[in-house]
Amino acid sequence: MTFKFSRKRFISLSCVVMMAGLGLACSSQPPQGAPGGGQRPPTPVVGFTAQMTSVAETLALVGTLAANESVQVSSNVDGFIESIPFEEGQRVKAGDTLVVLDQKKLKAELDRAQADLDLAQTTLKRYQTLGSGGAIATQEVERVVAEEAGARARVDVAQENLEDATITAPFDGTIGERLVSPGQYVQRGMALTSLISQNPMKAEFRVPERFLRQIEIGQTINLTLAAYPKEVFSGEVYFIDPQLETTSRTVLVKARVANEDGRLRRGMFANLNLIVTVKEKAVLIPESALMWKQENAMAYVVSAENTAEIRPVKLGIRQAGFVEIVSGIQPNETVIIEGIQKIGPGAPVAVRLEERALTGA
C-alpha cells in the first residue's frame, strides 16, 4: 500500500512535532521553589541568646565533714553511777548534768579533810602566839604552817572530787551513745558517752600545692552531699595549715558550714567547690553550641539576615552546661545550639529560641 502526502499536510505535521518537542522541553524544567531551583528554604534550628551575668570560677575538691567540737565524756573519780539524766541523741546546753556518781564517800572524805584543816588552823594560831613571845623555836612554827597548808590542799582536793562526781556538759551539743548504766562501777578515765557540737560543722579538705596561692581566709565554698544531692550548702574558709603534707604535696584547709537544722553529720563525704574568683560581667552560652576543629572552638551565630555565621571563640570559665565566651560572641547575640549538623556557613535558618537556666552563674 502506498501513502501519498501533499506538501501542505507535511508542513502541518512538522509543526505539530516541533510544538510537542517544545512542550516536552518546557515540562522538563523544575517548578519554582523546588530543590535545584529558586531560593533555598531556611533550615529549622534551635537558638539561645547569649547572656551576660556574674560567674564564679571554682576549684573542685573532695573532703569530709567534722564536728565543730567533739569530746569523749569520762569520769575523773571512781564510784558507782547513781543516775544518768540524759537520753541518747539529746541536745544539751553547757553545764547540763549528764552523769551523777554516788557522793556519800566523797562527802565523808571532804568532811574529814575539813576537820583536819580546822585542827591545823587552831594549832597554827597557838604556835604563832607562842612563837611571837619566844616560847618555841621558829622551826616549830614553820612546821605547823606547812601542816596547815597541806590540810587546806586536801580540802581543795576533796571538794574537787565531790564536784567531779556530777559530770556536766562542757559545751552545747548532742549526746552520743550511752556506754554505761545506773549502778555500774566506773573508774577514773572510763568513757561514759560522747558529746558533739554540730553547728556549725567543719568541712576539711586538702588543696594541691599549685592552687595554694588562690586560697585565703574568708573565701566561700559550696558543697554537695550524697544524702542531699539537689541541695547546695555554703561555708567559709577559716583555717589554712601553715605547713604542707610532704607526701601528697597538699595543704589542709578547713571551712565552717552552718548546720542549724542538724542534718549534716560528722564523717559525711562532701564534694566541694572553692570559689576562687567572681567575674561580674561574663558572656555565657550553652556548651552544646560549641564545635571543635582540633583544639580551636567555634560556634554558629545567627546574622541579621537570619543566616548561619561561623565564628572562632575563646573560652573561659566552665559551668554546669554552660561556658564563658571571652571573645567571639557579644551579649544578646543568638547562637545555634541544636541543628548544627544540618547547616553550613551562610545557610538560611529559621530559629526557635530556647531558654535555659544559668545554674552555674
Helices within 88-247 (DSSP H only): 104-132, 138-164
Beta-carbon count within 10 A of 10 CB: 10
pLDDT in tens, 321-346: 899 999 999 999 999 999 999 999 99
Burial of 1 (0-12, 13-18, 19+ CB in 10 A): exposed
Domain range list for the chain: 41-67+200-361, 103-164
Each residue of 28-49: b (16+ CB within 10 Å) or e? Answer: eeeeeeeeeeeeeeebebbbbe
Mean pLDDT in residue range 90-118: 91
Q: Give the pLDDT score at 56.
A: 80
Closest CA to 201 of 218, 219, 223: 223
Confidence of residue 39 (pLDDT cuts 50, 70, 90): low
Q: Which of 1.10.1670.10, 1.10.630.10, 3.40.50.620, 1.10.287.470 is the CATH number of 103-164?
A: 1.10.287.470
Q: Does position 17 have pLDDT exceeding 60, yes or no?
A: no
Q: How confident is the model at residue 261 (pLDDT cuts 50, 70, 90)?
A: confident
Across the range 130-154, mean pLDDT stands at 82
pLDDT band at 255 (very low <50, low <70, confident <90, very high): very high
Give yes or no for residue 37 having a pLDDT over 80: no
Tell me the pLDDT of the chain averaged across its residues: 84
pLDDT tens figures, 45-78:
999 999 999 888 777 889 999 999 999 999 988 9
Domains 41-67+200-361 and 103-164 share a fold: no
Compare 29 and 211 and report the one with higher pLDDT.
211
CATH number for the domain running over 41-67+200-361: 2.40.30.170
pLDDT of 137 reads 79
